[in-house]
Amino acid sequence: MTENPTPERPNIRHVASLAGVSHMTVSRVLNNHPNIKPDTRQRVLAVIEELNFRPNSAARALATQRNRRIGVLVEASSAYGPSTTLRGIELAAGLADYSVTSVSLHSERNGDTQAAVDQLTGQGIDALCIIAPRSSSLSALRELNPGVPVLAIKADNDANFLTTSLDQQQGAMLAVDHLAELGHRDILHLSGPLDWLDARARERAFHTRSRDWKLRERPIVVGDWSADFAYDYAISLKRRPDFTAIFSANDEMALGLVHGFASRGIGVPEEVSIVGFDDVPLAAHFLPPLTTVRQDLRQLGSKVVGALISAAEGREVPKRTKLPVELVVRESTAAPRRTS
């Protein structure tokens, strides 16, 4: 007695034959292409369900001429913002059946940027994202031609790239408004490194809003994003601060400020109110709990993936997308103490 041969696994051409369409139509249905008639889409989906068809990724790549892979260049990959944004991109890409390959960029030199882009394009990426870019690294990238759609996570328009960002200007203005409404008229800004585009956007918005409120003008302090820098700054002040509040460009530096002032017996918010930026998971557990600007970095990742997939598939994509942020008020801010 002869054994029955193993049943052939259904493929895209089986689906096409039973649905009465071409295999390219099946491929378009699988990739959610918009230009498919509803009844055709429904017929193809019904056959897919009937055959329990699961598309092979290699076959799908062959049919669509795409590898369903997004490349990411990420600077400061260990920092909260870039690392959380990358995770959001990975999660959103996985839901869309795309994979993500990331490369950390440690230098803005053209040769290093070229090597990073070559590493990604060599793996057959369909689109490229740049996370937490500095102006210097973007300048280096503009001289290259990756040959795929490129999106930069930055607040301003860019003639060369798509851009998606959380609204950095809105976040800084919310911070200044909150402090000014409490009665503060002398606010120090502890910025991030000003070659970082997000730091520059927050710094500019701080100055704009401070002028709107007619606050005292004072030089900013340029930090390096780290709690250590902010701690050292706080303990280095020769006198008790003459400003009444600080807008810190990220939560890590805000934590360093709180620690440094506590070491000197300077109360937060009794003597100095502090607002951070990011709303890191531990911000609610600082002592005192930190007032900060919350960024939904996972939503940002989802928007980035949607834009890159649309661009890779030849669909129209907005040149610029900006997402809102929100202020979370906790216990590190209060009205300034009156002096006689």
Write the CATH number for 317. Answer: 3.40.50.2300
Q: What is the rounded CA–CA span in Å between residue 217 and residue 319?
A: 35
Q: For helices 23-30 and 57-64, what crossing angle results, to 10°?
A: 110
In terms of Cα–Cα distance, which of 172, 210, 166 is closest to 191? 172
Q: What is the rounded CA–CA span in Å between residue 140 and residue 152?
A: 13
141 lies in which domain range?
69-165+297-322
Residues 58 and 149 in one domain: no
Q: Which helix (H) or strand (E) holds 72?
A: strand 69-74
Indicate the pairing of strand 245-248 with strand 99-104.
unpaired
Task: Tell whether 121 is covered by a domain.
Answer: yes
**Quick one: pLDDT at residue 98?**
92
Q: What is the rounded CA–CA span in Å between residue 83 and residue 76?
A: 8
pLDDT at 258 over 80: yes
Residues 216 and 305 in one domain: no
Q: For residue range 146-196, list pLDDT tens digits in order.
A: 889 999 999 888 888 999 999 999 999 999 999 999 999 999 999 999 999
Cα distances from 302 to residues 85, 297, 323, in angstroms, run 9, 9, 11
Task: Tell whether 2 is covered by a domain.
Answer: no
Q: What is the rounded CA–CA span in Å between residue 247 and residue 257?
A: 11
Q: For residue range 193-246, list pLDDT tens digits in order.
A: 999 999 999 999 999 999 999 999 999 999 999 999 999 999 999 899 999 999
Residues 160 and 307 in one domain: yes
Task: Tell whether 112 is covered by a domain.
Answer: yes
- Model confidence, pTM: 0.79
Residues 229 and 264 in one domain: yes
Residues 57 and 73 in one domain: no
**Quick one: pLDDT at residue 7?**
52
Residue pair 226/257 in contact (Cβ under 8 Å)? The answer is no
**Quick one: pLDDT at residue 4?**
45
